[in-house]
Amino acid sequence: MFAFIKKIFLAFVLAGVVLFGYQNMTPLSQEISFSFDLYSEGLTYQTPEFPVVFLFISFFLIGVMMAGFGGIFERVARKTEIRLAKRKVKALEKRVSELEGEQTKIDKEKLPPPPKPLSGDKKADEVPSSEKPVAIGATPVKAMLEVPPTKSSPLPLDEEPTL
């Protein structure tokens, strides 16, 4: 879609240039000449007469060439930037793959073997929670919540402190 709009815009610009040239044929066809004089004997130069339109065309072409050269240098600089960025990306991808390989190696070394089922037929998932083994030193939550009152507590448990 953008290419189509660009072509339409260029067609309008070209039509405008042609219209400008057609309407200004007489002034653009006037002939001019330039002279160069250093105010000394024999050091003068005068160009042959030529139409003004050649002057406009030559300045337009000089401008296009200057813009083109500026674009070439910028394009070369961007290509160099892109090439360096691609090299860096490849190096970083290689480093990431190395680190991932090391991580999987470490993970395989650190993983404990899978737990064996408690009985021959039952799997570890199917064991009821009451039959599951508890780690040494672990206290069930229910036992921790049911703390019996002790005689060494300074206040009776049913009374609140008064100030």
The least confident of 14-23, 58-67, 85-94, 124-133 is 124-133
Length of the chain in residues, anyone?
163
Q: Tens of pLDDT along 98-109?
A: 999 988 888 887
Task: Report, in this order, helix, strand and coil percent for the chain, each rounded to 5.
Answer: 55, 5, 40
Nearest to 32 by CA among 18, 42, 46, 44: 46
Question: What is the number of alpha carbons within 13 Å of residue 7 lying toward its C-beta?
Answer: 4
Contact by Cβ (8 Å): 146, 152 = no
pTM across the whole model:
0.40
The least confident of 2-16, 47-61, 80-94, 115-129 is 115-129
Taking the C-alpha atoms of residue 163 and residue 155, their distance in angstroms, rounded to an integer, is 13
> What pLDDT shows up at residue 145?
53
Mean pLDDT, all residues of the chain: 78
Nearest to 30 by CA among 4, 60, 61, 54: 54
- Mean pLDDT over residues 83-110, rounded? 91
Per the model's pLDDT, the better-predicted residue between 129 and 65 turns out to be 65
Measured CA to CA in angstroms, residue 37 lies from 33, 45, 47, 49 at distances of 13, 6, 12, 17
> What pLDDT shows up at residue 84?
97
> What pLDDT shows up at residue 94?
95
Nearest to 44 by CA among 52, 36, 32, 34: 36
The least confident of 18-32, 52-66, 140-154 is 140-154
Taking the C-alpha atoms of residue 15 and residue 27, their distance in angstroms, rounded to an integer, is 19
